[in-house]
Amino acid sequence: MRINKYLSHAGVASRRKCDEFIESGKVRVNGKTVTDFSYQVQPTDIVLCDRHLVENTKERRVYLLNKPKGYICTNTDTHDRKKVIDLLPTQDRLFTIGRLDRDTTGAILITNDGDLANQLMHPRFKKEKIYLAETKEDIDDKELPKLTQGIKLDRGEFVKGQIRRLDRCKGRILWEVILNEGKNREVKRIFESFGTHVVSLHRYSFAGLNVSNLKVGKYKQLSPKIIQSLF
């Protein structure tokens, strides 16, 4: 296994951050500094990163979590806000696969394998995401097909997807939005492009995994078979 993948899989950091450790000379194998990214770690190698022993023996774990409102998806925060990784009682270093805004609820995947997280966030996998959104303002039916053809967002980004009105109730309109990309605040910006704004947003499903049977704030560990199906 390549040295950066070994470090990432062991939970040291993301693959990119591990590359930085290697480049800066913080990685030593059998007492020697290794800066060659192609180095293949052998079973008998003793690997240190920043003077700490690295052992790649832990089981790969992936969790599906029903994210509550008010939690952020970053690993560190200078404002001491609540983090989704704190909802899992494990000592593993954890990585979120994709992100949800602080006020958005629903399905998010969390793993102890930084390399896996990076792979699944790559655009080529095009993981389907299904959202339930509420707005106060309606959208003309003639406008809705535009998202299927593709629309340009406020910063010039191009996005395609599907949108349909599910219900009107008590002054609110409920929408289903299906996307295969992961741009920043994508759903909210789509509605803004239609001249309305989202008052609540819930990701019902991610990569075919839904949280209909998970209470808010609860999680379940995925089986190896389901993890493999993500690819």
State the virtual CA torsion across 159, 164, 166, 168 in degrees, nearest 10.
90
DSSP SS3 for 1: coil
Tell me which of 19, 45, 92, 101 is the catalytic residue. 101
DSSP SS3 for 81: coil
Among this protein's residues, is 92 annotated catalytic?
no
Q: How many CB atoms lie within 10 A of CB 216?
A: 13
Residue 67 corresponds to which tokens in the numbers above? 């994210």
Helix (H) or strand (E) holding 147: helix 146-149
What distance in Å separates the CA atoms of residue 139 and residue 176, rounded to the nearest whole number?
Answer: 13
- What are phi and psi for residue 188, nearest 5 degrees? -60, -40
Q: Which residues are catalytic?
A: 101
